[in-house]
Structures are given as C-alpha cells and as structure tokens.
Structure 1
Amino acid sequence: MATFALWINCSAAQQIKEIYVSPLGSDTNSGTYDKPFKTLHKATEQLGSKISKAQQKIVIWLNDGTYRIKDPIKIDSQINKNKVPIEFRSVQGSVPIISGSVAINNWTSLSEGMWEAKIPKYIGNFRELFVQGKRAVRARHPNKEYLRVKQVGADRRTNFTFYPEDFPLPKNPKEVELVLLHDWSITRIPIKNIALETHTISAVDSIGAKGLNFFNLDNWEPNPRYYLENSIEFLDVDYEWYLDTAMSKIYLKLPLNKNPNQFTIEAPVAESLVLLDGTEKEPISNISFEGISFEHCRYNIPNKIYAGIQACHFDTQGGAKEWAVVPAAVRTHWAKNIKFENCKFSSLGGSGIWLGTGSSNCTINRCTLWDISGNGIMIGEGQDRLVSGEPWWKIAPEQAALGNKVQDSNISDCGVQFYGAVGIWCGLTSETQLRNNEIYNLPYTGISIGWMWSPQATPCRDNTIAENHIHHVMQTLSDGGGIYMLGLQPGSKLVGNHIHDISVNTGRAESNGMFLDEGTKNVLVENNLIYNIAKSPIRFHRASTNVVRNNYLFSKGSTPSIAYNNTLAENISQEGNYEISTDNQDYKDLLKEAVSIHIPTPNKQLQNPRP
C-alpha cells in the first residue's frame, strides 16, 4: 500500500511542471529551482509544443527582483493549444517586478542642480521619467494650477491669444505641448507657432475632437484652462525634466545635494508588458498571475495629437471619426478564465489592464493600481469595431465581454497624463461585476459603464456595481461622477455603493455622486450612501425609466437630492429614499450614523431623516 501511495504522489508531481526564473539566473540554465532562467521570454519558450497534455498545470515561479523587458510577454492560442493551465506566481516572500524601462546613466552636471544625459538611439522619444521609483514632472508652466485663454481665435479651434506675462517664451516652440482642458476631457497637441506681435498660440491642428462642435474652445468656458509642457525654459522646480528630441538629450533638475549618478533613473521603452491573445475560434484560457508587479510601459501618442473624447478614447485627427483608445500595459483578447490576483500595476504611460474583445469569466482580485496615465482597468469595448462591414454589436453581440469581475481592489491616481481617464471603464459589456473596490484620487469619474448615448439595444446588460467605496474623484474635470452610466442596460444594478467628496470644478457642467446619462434605462439604484457632493447626489440626463430605492442621499442646502436634466421625473420610480439636507439641524448626526452603518439595509434605518 505504501508503494502504491508513493507511485500516486510521484505521478501527480510529474503532471505539474515547474519553471523557475530569477534576474540572477541564466538562460543557458535548465529552469529548475537551483538553476533558474534569467528572462521571462526564455521561460515562456518552454510552453506550447514542449508541454504535454497529460500535465495538470504549469507554474512559472518568479524570484525576487526586476525583470526588464523591451518586448512584451506574449502568450497566444498556439502556445496554449493544449489548454494546460499556466500560472505565473511569485516565490513566497519575493516581490517580482516586470518592468518595461531602461536605466539612464552617465549624467553630467551643467550648473548647480541642473544635469544632462545623452539618450541612446534605441530609447527614442518618451513621455515619462522615474527617479528613485517616483514619477518626475515633465517641465511645465505654470508649475501648479493653470493659465487662462485670453480670447479664442476666429475658427474657435486652432488658436487663441494669451496675456504677455503668462509664460517664459520657449526658444523652440515646436518642442512644446499644449494641454487644454475641456469639460470632461483634454487635448494634448504640439504648438505650431507662438506669435509675439499678436500674443497668439497656434496649434498644429484642431484643439479638440473634429466633427464634434461641443469641443469648440469656448463652448463650455469663454476662457478655458491650459498649460504648456516640455520646454527647458519651464525647468525651474526640483525633479522636473525636459527631453530635447532633436539633440537626443534629457535635462533634469535636482536639489543641490543630489547626484543623479547615485540614483535609479528610468525611462519606459516597452509598449506593452503582457499580451494574452486568442482567437474567436480558439480563445486562450486558464492563465493566472499572482503576486506580481507590472511597471513602466511607454505610450507615445499617434501623430503626437491626443484630442480626448471620453474615458481615454480620442480623435487621432487623421480623418473623419478616426478614434483610438489609449492602450493598456496588460491586455487580453479572446480570453477565458484569466486571473490576476494580488498584483500591482503602477508607473504606466497608458492604461493599466484591459480585458478586451471576447474576454469572458476573467477576474481581477485584490489588485492595486496607481500612478497610471490612462484608465486603471478597462473591460470590453466601444461601438467602432466592424464585423463584415457592420458594427460588431449589431450583428455579433455574442462577442461582448462577458462575466468578468473586478473585486476587492484598490484603484487610485489614474489619469496622470490623460485627465479624462476613469478608475474602471466598461464598454458594451454583459454580466460584469465590480464589487468591493476602493476608487479615489482621480481627475475624472470613478467607474464608467456603458457606451451608447441612447436607449438603443446593445449587448450591454446585467451588470452589477456593488459595495464599492468611491471618493475624491472629479478633482480636475467636470460632467461626471463617482459612477457614470449610460445607455440601455436591462438587469443592471448600482447597489450598496459608498460615494463621497466630489467638489465643483471650473467647467460648466456639474458633477455628481452618480450621473446616469443619455439612454440610461431599466437600471436599479438601491441602498447607496452618497454625501459631501457639491451638487445633486444623483443626476439623470436624457434618461428613461429607472428605479431609485432605499438610498441615503445627503445634499447641500436647497440642492435637490436627485436632479433631472431633460428627464421626466415621473419616469424615475422612487421608493423609500432618505433625503437629508444640510438645512436639517440633525444633518451631522444623521450623516455620522449613516457612515457608521456604511451600507444601509432595511433593518438599519435612520430615524426621522427628513427636515
């Protein structure tokens, strides 16, 4: 009997293949515990045809340290053709980092606190620099806050005047990027010319997405906010940097007692970190990542023009409605049962992670995302992809992202470059679940779900946003909320969310705890706690029939708890909501009680809530 048990244990061990990797290893090694490979690319070469169907699973163990890559780790249907589960896991007690950066060395002192380094040709252009693990500031003026357009030009799109003392004149204006803030998006665009005689800034193309008149410069504000970025004349604060692309040189300002040759200074070179690509007929499946950090991923804007539309979708200015999306460092495509657990995503030039076209039953669990230029997490897609010349969602709705989950995760400080970014963006998705996540410190919306500005039927249905803690969002832009929703989404629910601290911004449109925009229909809004909102806790705009039930809505003064813009109030069914104004003398006590309850239930209700 003992011999039989030993045979069973040996057989099970043979079915699990373990591959070890370490930055201190060698790709000439065998990939064992004692002789690990050095690179993840070498480890993934062991997959595919070299893996037997009889194997139960493959575990790639990552030891402590940084794994620098210039090209992404790719796993496709051919590598995964035997459908054997593949796990990328950190060795216990280790902190493995997959980084798409290279170090910049050999700094030369120019003057007190000012340093210069030559950029190798293979690095090329980049938009981010990290000093000792922290994002440095691309030299800008002003250093904080914004300038104001003096007067918009005649075409309302390509130029405007400025005040004479607004900024130091750049010697090379064509190196400078103009950053202009619209209500819910921004434009980043190179400057064509700065005319001193007329005090006029001209951009190389349209400022704002073409074909959409509401992006005219003075549509929301007569004197919109802007600032200028990437000029040596703006390099006046410690830890700012400037890239001279023509001379392939970088300049960095540091405190007087700091020497960059004693620092780790990194620039991103990889355009993706991990790509999991299946096909509709052969989706990739059963791949997981646990305890791994993903850092430093480059994103250079196509045509150098980012005319933001919403949630990191933008106009490339290449023609009529040529929209693009800021990509993610980690992306799935036609993938099933992909899992990210206890992973970290940070210091990224695009978005964080994207469960893209055809992704189903994927999970992001207990992950942390911060310091990300674009969206934190993206699920599904918008309307634009064509199948047989027609929009995919019309003729192939079964291709929608289905049954994906984000839970127990912490998402903050997204939209570092592209302010219209959101913590979690979901397009035309089905059965998506976003549960128990904390989302905060964002320039725009916390969670955005839906991508149809009408009640037209799409695959978007049965999505659940529940028990999330969303706060201190909408800190830069306007016309969004803790949760932003739009379109027909039958069976969808916003339940038990805790949303607070959303202040007024300088844009024309207000921001709210929840903003249910055009076409929102057949949605249940229940048991949510919303307070410290400068405007209405809930706002409907061109919405249809929805149910708002048993919510705790704290508002300021005479501000209504629920606002209706081009929405018939009688179409919104209200049941058992507690609406408490600051005019109520017991407001603070009632708020304190509601927060202690956290998520209200029928068995824990406030007493005498109304004024």
Structure 2
Amino acid sequence: MARPRPRAPPVTRATLPLRFRSIGSYATPPKSTAPLRPWIAPPVGRATLAEHTKCGFERPAFSAVGLAFRPGPHIISVMKKTMLLLLTLWGTAIGVEQADYYVATDGADTQPGTLEKPFASIGRAQQAVRERVEKGLSGPLTVLIRGGRYELSEPLRFGPQDTGPGQHCITYTAAAGESVRICGGTIMGDWKRDQDNLWSCPAPASEGGNRPVRQLYADGRRLNRGVFPAEGLLRITKASSDARTIEFDRDLAGDLVGTGAEVVIIHNWSIARGIIAGVEGRSITSATPLGWVGHHWTCPAPGKPAFIENAPGSLGKAGQWRFDAKTRRVVYRAADEQAPATMQFVVPRLEQLVVIRGTAERAVSNLCFRGLTFEHAAWNLPQRGYAGIQAGYNGTKNEPGDELEYAMPVAVELAHARDCVFEQCRFLRIGASAVGLGVATFRNRLVGCEIGDVGGNGVHIGLPDGPIRTLDQDWSNPAEVPTGNEVSNCYVHHCAQENFGCVGVYAAFTEDTRIIHNHVAHMPYTGVSVGFRWDPSPSSQKNCLVEYNHIHDCMIRLADGGGIYTLGYQPGTILRGNHIHDIHRSEYAHGGAPNNGIFFDEGSLGFLVEGNVIHGTSGEAIRFNQNRPEGHVWRGNSFDSAPGAAGFPKDSAAHAGIEPLYESFFQSADNSR
C-alpha cells in the first residue's frame, strides 16, 4: 500500500469465480454489540492458574488404547473451566492472601513486604524478588499487589535477573477482587476560573523536560483538544512539493504561531501531524513535512481533508481543552455547573510503563502479570513531526539511502523475552501504541486482556529494534524472528485514536503468530493487519493463524483497508472462522479505494481462507490488489449473507470472538474505571 505503484482495479463480484460471489444482500448493518466490561481479579490463592500451566494454558496430549490424541477446542474449553473452578476453590480453602511478597499503597519500602507490613512500590518488590533469584530460587514466586493507584516515576524495567527458574513463573498479580492501576500520569489540581466556563491549571513537568501536554483524561475519559473548524473540515487547495506549506479553502482564525497549534492532514490510509510555524492568509507552514515526501498517496494534495488542533479560541464545546504553550497552562471548557475541582484530571507523563528486555545471550523468561491495569502513557510529537505511512510507521521521505522510518513507541515493550504472559490485564488510556513484541520474542502471550483507548496500534508483533531503512526490512538474523507469540481472547477496541492509520492487532516479519478468539472493534482504519512486504518474495512472515476473531466497526475514518488486511507471501498462514461486519466508509475518506471485509493487498499469496463470515461491508466482502484468488485456498466461507437470511451460518458467527470462559471475566466485573 505504501509504495508508489499503479493499482490494479479491484476484483468485483461479477469477475470472481462462482464460489467467491456474494450470496444474499445486506442493506442495514445491525447495531454493534455492547462493549465488554473490565475485569477484576477473581479470588485465587498462592499458586495462580498461570503457575499450574507453566505461565498459561497448554493443550495436553492424552493417550487412549495406546493411541495419542489431542482434544479439540470444545473439550479444551470444558477443561479450562473445570481447572479454573478447582483452582479457585483450592485457593479459597488455603486463604486468598497468600503470596511471597505484598505491595500496598499504604505500605512502606522500608518494611519487609509481608501481608502485615507490605512494600509501597512495585519496584521495591521487584528488588526483593531479584535478591531471591540471585540466592537461588527453586520454585514459583508471587508478588501480590493490593488495590489502588501506583504512579510511576520511571518505567518498570525487567531483565534477565528477573527471570523465573526453570519452568516456574514469577508472578505479579492483583489481589482478589481489587483493581490495581499502574499509571504513567500525574493528577492535576489547582484549577482557576479564567472566565465563564473556562478554567486553567499549571501543566505538570513531563518526562524529558517541559514538553507540551498532548493528552488529558478526566475521570477516565480521553478529552478532545479544541479543533478548528468547529464543524466540518478544511480542504486543501494547494500544497508545496516539500509537503510543508499548505493552502486551505477558507480563512484561518487567529494567531496560530507559537501557540502549539497542530495541523492534521488526513491522507488515504494514514495521517500527518505538524506544529504550525507560519501563517499567511489561507496558508500555513508546518515546522515539519506533512507527508512521506515522494509518495503521492501519503502526501498533501488538493481535496484532502484537514483540521487544526489546540488552536487559541477553539474551545467551543464543553469538555474540550488546549495546552497554552506560552503560559504552560492547560485550559478546559467545563459544562454549566461543572466544577473541575470535583473531577480527577490526569496528564500522561511517561511514554513507556513496562520494558521487558533481555539480551541475545540471556533472555528474560517466565514472567507473568495478572489482573493489572496499565494506563496513562503519553505520546509526544517527535521533533521530525509525524508523517504517517501505514500502521503507525512514519518517516519524512520515500527515498532510498539515509532516510529512516520509525514505528510508534509502545507503552509495554518486550524484546529478547520468552514465555512471558499478560493474563486478564488491561492496557487503557495509552498515547502511542499499547503493547509491542520485538526482537527475539518467543511464545509470549496476551490472554483475556482489554486493550482500549489507544492512540496507536493496540498490539504490534514484530516491533523493530530501532529505526529501519525500508518499510519491508526483515530481520537480519533468523534467530531474531518473533516466533510463537499469541494474542487470544482479548477485547481490542478504540485504537488509533490519535493516529488514525494505526490498527488493532499488527503482525509482520513473525512466525507462528496466533491471533485467535479476539473481539476487535471501533477502529478508524483496519482491525487486524498481517504482513508488510509489497511483493511475493519470501520473508520471515509465515504460518500466522488469524482464527475465530469477531471484527466489526472498522474503517470509521480512513480508506483502503478492511477488517483484515494482508501484504506479501505468507506460506502456511490461515484466516479461519472470523466474523467480520460493519466495515464503514467515512464521507471524509479520501481516494476511491473501497473498504472491505478482507483486503488482500500487493503480493498477498499462500493463504488458507476458511469458514469466515463476512457481511455489512461498504465495499466488496473480499478485494484483491496485485494478487489473485487463485493464489489462495478457499473453503466454506460466507460472503454478504445477512443475519436472519436463509443459510446464514449463525453458529459459525457465534463461535467467533471471546470464548465463554474469558467473556465471563469481562462481564462479571465492576464497570467502574
């Protein structure tokens, strides 16, 4: 998608072989299902469920009459439920508060970390764990964290010295029935009324100095910055070749220079952001390029929509805010009779919350995080600005040589890590991307987690270890390829809230990745994206399983994507049993390319596409660009048959999404944030 190549016309129903054509019609998509509620840790004793399954569930083999067999998914589901019930009852019988170390907000780091005298910080508990590991640890170890808010002064960093011994996990878990929030933000106070319903407060210092405030949350809700124009969008009438000077179709209000005002350009499948450095009539000049220069589709052009954030005088609606760069104060427009002093405002300060990084010689392994919420991570606009290319990658020039491309930072990062698990955790209110699995990450798992209100990608598997020279750059060493990682039974929603071209779950240059039984919804662009090479040449991307996901309400803002998006040759990759619907087309989407259920983009080859249920898409259920249906294997899919229509595979549709065991965790939890 990102290369400046001519595009082949999309394959239509009429040109597809009979087995690919739509059956039935679907005029009115059903309303979206209600969002799942957050999870709070159930009562489990000293040995967590993850401990009894080597940091997560495995599918055991059984033997009957001398013949080995593996149970199917329904049997596994029953086994999981039975195991959870037995372990919960056992944990209750021995006492739910048993652990090796305890942390509580009313504790002290000078105390021994017992139940009666807990530590105050997770960092102090980590230090105690390291001392135990250094002395020789022969079994599992648990750190139990009591409910409350734990504000970080720096990211939690885990290295090889934090590794669990043998097959045993070191587990950091929330106390039973309690909500543990690990925060990278600062609570604001001292609000003063300026005039009418406008209030202001001094901005707290940020990581790395006095950076602008770019995200603000009130009582757990992301607040929108003030925007110009208040209604509708600007349209570009002229753009310079360096993508910095842009002329719009209307006059611009007020003095924008030096105020921190930020222009946002909406491209086809990406956006660009830059600080306004000059204004003349209807034209602005950005401090940085507002496109990937040299590539037509990701550069400013006449007709493309735009808007300006954080401009003076832009707070026309209650709940909007702006950062005044001249006074370093946050200005908020309250609703009538609303007092900011009665609300909790949080400014994210840290870009990263957790870093799990080993070395090529010694990986981090066997860490388990259970029932924890990671929240309020910042995203600071880079000095180069943000010229989006695709899926959070950004750069300045589409030229070979010294130009670099960058992935978005991630709040929780794993590198040289294996057999680590995040189980029933939440990643919320994140400025950039939420979770990244990078170099030499093996068999790590996100299970039963909620990932929502994220500025970039929800999960990025294949995160590069620094800037890259070309977008399709593979790992130089085969031993570095992320392998066997899993995202399962997760609720991934409202990602790409700041950079609309990001996706829910992304995997590229990985092997044996499993993206299964997730609920992916409410995305400005694509839901699940696999592969990142624009031709059928071999790469490390292979054997990916995208199975039984419920994907809906995607492509809300941008164009040229779908519920699932693919690139390149991916032998052994399977798209199976996914239920995809409500794939939209915004009136502001630029360009003529449609939005689809599954979009097989350039070079896509070697997929098994089986048992998928797709309906309610603004474009064709399936689209091909520079590849053909004959390059894939097709079995038993249902395209465009409406729910309620004769032949609609309702059982297949119902099987997609979060499995009952994990769904009950979300639905039984308290809905408070």
Question: Normalising TM by the smaller chain, what interval?
Answer: 0.7 to 0.9
Residue identity matched to 2:188:
I
SS of equivalent residue, structure 1 residue 78: helix
Instruction: Determine if the alignment matches structure 1 residue 210 to structure 2 residue 210.
Output: no
User: Is the Cα–Cα contact under 8 Å of residues 174 and 370 in structure 2 kept in the other structure?
Assistant: yes
Query: For 1:243 and 1:453, how far apart are their aligned partners in 2?
Result: 40
User: Is the Cα–Cα contact under 8 Å of residues 420 and 444 in structure 1 kept in the other structure?
Assistant: yes
Deviation at 1:304, TM superposition (A): 5.5
Task: Give the alignment partner of residue 417 of structure 2, picking from 310, 335, 357.
Answer: 335
Deviations 1:429-474 (A, max 9, x none): 1001111111010000000011111111111111110110000100
Q: Which residue of 2 aligns with 1:504?
A: 585
Deviation at 1:252, TM superposition (A): 0.9
Query: For 1:88 and 1:592, how far apart are their aligned partners in 2?
Result: 48
User: Is the Cα–Cα contact under 8 Å of residues 558 and 585 in structure 2 kept in the other structure?
Assistant: no
Query: For 2:402 and 2:646, how far apart are their aligned partners in 1?
Result: 50
Change (3 A) 1:269 1:156: closer
Query: For 2:581 and 2:508, how far apart are their aligned partners in 1?
Result: 24
User: Is the Cα–Cα contact under 8 Å of residues 178 and 228 in structure 1 kept in the other structure?
Assistant: yes
Task: Give the alignment partner of residue 225 of structure 1, picking from 305, 321, 346.
Answer: 305
Deviation at 1:381, TM superposition (A): 3.3
Query: For 1:362 and 1:385, how far apart are their aligned partners in 2?
Result: 23
Query: For 2:559 and 2:250, how far apart are their aligned partners in 1?
Result: 29
Change (3 A) 1:185 1:63: same
Q: Which residue of 2 aligns with 1:111?
A: 195
**What aligned pairs does 1:38-49 form with structure 2 within 5 A after superposition?**
38-49=120-131
SS of equivalent residue, structure 1 residue 288: strand
- Tell me the TM-score normalised to structure 2 length: 0.77
Change (3 A) 1:67 1:217: same
User: Is the Cα–Cα contact under 8 Å of residues 174 and 190 in structure 1 kept in the other structure?
Assistant: no
Instruction: Determine if the alignment matches structure 1 residue 152 to structure 2 residue 238.
Output: yes
Query: For 2:612 and 2:220, how far apart are their aligned partners in 1?
Result: 38
Task: Give the alignment partner of residue 491 of structure 1, picking from 553, 557, 572.
Answer: 572
Deviation at 1:361, TM superposition (A): 0.5
Query: For 1:114 and 1:194, how far apart are their aligned partners in 2?
Result: 26
User: Is the Cα–Cα contact under 8 Å of residues 292 and 397 in structure 2 kept in the other structure?
Assistant: yes
Task: Give the alignment partner of residue 528 of structure 1, picking from 612, 622, 628.
Answer: 612
Deviation at 1:298, TM superposition (A): 1.2
Instruction: Determine if the alignment matches structure 1 residue 253 to structure 2 residue 339.
Output: no
Change (3 A) 1:66 1:363: same
Change (3 A) 1:47 1:409: same
Instruction: Determine if the alignment matches structure 1 residue 283 to structure 2 residue 363.
Output: yes
Instruction: Determine if the alignment matches structure 1 residue 135 to structure 2 residue 135.
Output: no
User: Is the Cα–Cα contact under 8 Å of residues 272 and 386 in structure 2 kept in the other structure?
Assistant: yes
Q: Which residue of 1 aligns with 2:106?
A: 24
SS of equivalent residue, structure 1 residue 417: coil
Q: Which residue of 1 aligns with 2:437?
A: 355
Task: Give the alignment partner of residue 601 of structure 2, picking from 503, 506, 517.
Answer: 517
Task: Give the alignment partner of residue 176 of structure 1, picking from 258, 261, 281.
Answer: 261
Instruction: Determine if the alignment matches structure 1 residue 162 to structure 2 residue 248.
Output: yes
SS of equivalent residue, structure 1 residue 543: coil
5+ residue gaps, structure 1, are: 1-11, 555-579, 581-586, 602-611
Query: For 2:365 and 2:288, how far apart are their aligned partners in 1?
Result: 43
Residue identity matched to 2:225:
R
Residue identity matched to 2:323:
L
Q: Which residue of 1 aligns with 2:161?
A: 78
Instruction: Determine if the alignment matches structure 1 residue 192 to structure 2 residue 272.
Output: no
User: Is the Cα–Cα contact under 8 Å of residues 404 and 467 in structure 2 kept in the other structure?
Assistant: no
| Higher share of residues assigned strand | 1
Q: Which residue of 2 aligns with 1:593?
A: 648
Deviation at 1:101, TM superposition (A): 0.8
Change (3 A) 1:394 1:249: closer
Task: Give the alignment partner of residue 368 of structure 1, picking from 446, 450, 457.
Answer: 450
SS of equivalent residue, structure 2 residue 414: strand
Residue identity matched to 1:325:
A
Deviations 1:111-145 (A, max 9, x none): 12111112244563221011111111111123454
Deviation at 1:401, TM superposition (A): 0.6
Query: For 1:383 and 1:430, how far apart are their aligned partners in 2?
Result: 17
Query: For 2:612 and 2:250, how far apart are their aligned partners in 1?
Result: 50
Deviation at 1:526, TM superposition (A): 1.0
Query: For 1:386 and 1:162, how far apart are their aligned partners in 2?
Result: 34
Deviations 1:338-390 (A, max 9, x none): 10111111111111111211111011111111111010011113598789x9x
Query: For 1:383 and 1:291, how far apart are their aligned partners in 2?
Result: 28
User: Is the Cα–Cα contact under 8 Å of residues 226 and 315 in structure 2 kept in the other structure?
Assistant: yes
Change (3 A) 1:122 1:336: closer
Task: Give the alignment partner of residue 150 of structure 2, picking from 67, 70, 73.
Answer: 67
SS of equivalent residue, structure 2 residue 383: helix
Task: Give the alignment partner of residue 396 of structure 1, picking from 463, 468, 477.
Answer: 477
User: Is the Cα–Cα contact under 8 Å of residues 560 and 594 in structure 2 kept in the other structure?
Assistant: yes
Change (3 A) 1:120 1:353: closer
Relative contact order (C-alpha < 8 Å, sep 6+): which is higher? 2
Query: For 1:383 and 1:289, how far apart are their aligned partners in 2?
Result: 23
Task: Give the alignment partner of residue 268 of structure 1, picking from 348, 351, 364.
Answer: 348
User: Is the Cα–Cα contact under 8 Å of residues 17 and 55 in structure 1 kept in the other structure?
Assistant: no
Deviations 1:520-540 (A, max 9, x none): 111111111101111110111
**What aligned pairs does 1:447-466 form with structure 2 within 5 A after superposition?**
447-466=528-547
Query: For 1:321 and 1:269, how far apart are their aligned partners in 2?
Result: 29
Deviation at 1:397, TM superposition (A): 1.9
Q: Which residue of 2 aligns with 1:550?
A: 636
- Tell me the TM-score normalised to structure 1 length: 0.85
Q: Which residue of 2 aligns with 1:472?
A: 553
Instruction: Determine if the alignment matches structure 1 residue 436 to structure 2 residue 517.
Output: yes
Deviation at 1:158, TM superposition (A): 2.2
Residue identity matched to 1:593:
F
User: Is the Cα–Cα contact under 8 Å of residues 233 and 307 in structure 2 kept in the other structure?
Assistant: yes
Query: For 1:395 and 1:374, how far apart are their aligned partners in 2?
Result: 26
RMSD (CA atoms): 2.6
Deviations 1:468-526 (A, max 9, x none): 00001000001110000111111110011000111223321111100111111111111
Residue identity matched to 1:475:
I
Deviation at 1:301, TM superposition (A): 2.1
SS of equivalent residue, structure 1 residue 598: helix
5+ residue gaps, structure 2, are: 1-93, 657-673
Deviation at 1:171, TM superposition (A): 4.9
SS of equivalent residue, structure 2 residue 479: helix
Change (3 A) 1:395 1:369: closer
Query: For 2:99 and 2:649, how far apart are their aligned partners in 1?
Result: 52
User: Is the Cα–Cα contact under 8 Å of residues 172 and 231 in structure 1 kept in the other structure?
Assistant: no
Task: Give the alignment partner of residue 57 of structure 1, picking from 121, 140, 155.
Answer: 140
Change (3 A) 1:531 1:17: closer
Query: For 1:82 and 1:48, how far apart are their aligned partners in 2?
Result: 12
Query: For 2:414 and 2:428, how far apart are their aligned partners in 1?
Result: 18
Deviation at 1:79, TM superposition (A): 3.4
Number of residue pairs matched?
548
Residue identity matched to 1:95:
S
Change (3 A) 1:386 1:46: same
Query: For 1:344 and 1:140, how far apart are their aligned partners in 2?
Result: 30
Q: Which residue of 2 aligns with 1:93?
A: 177
Task: Give the alignment partner of residue 486 of structure 2, picking from 405, 428, 434.
Answer: 405
SS of equivalent residue, structure 1 residue 282: coil
Deviation at 1:320, TM superposition (A): 4.3
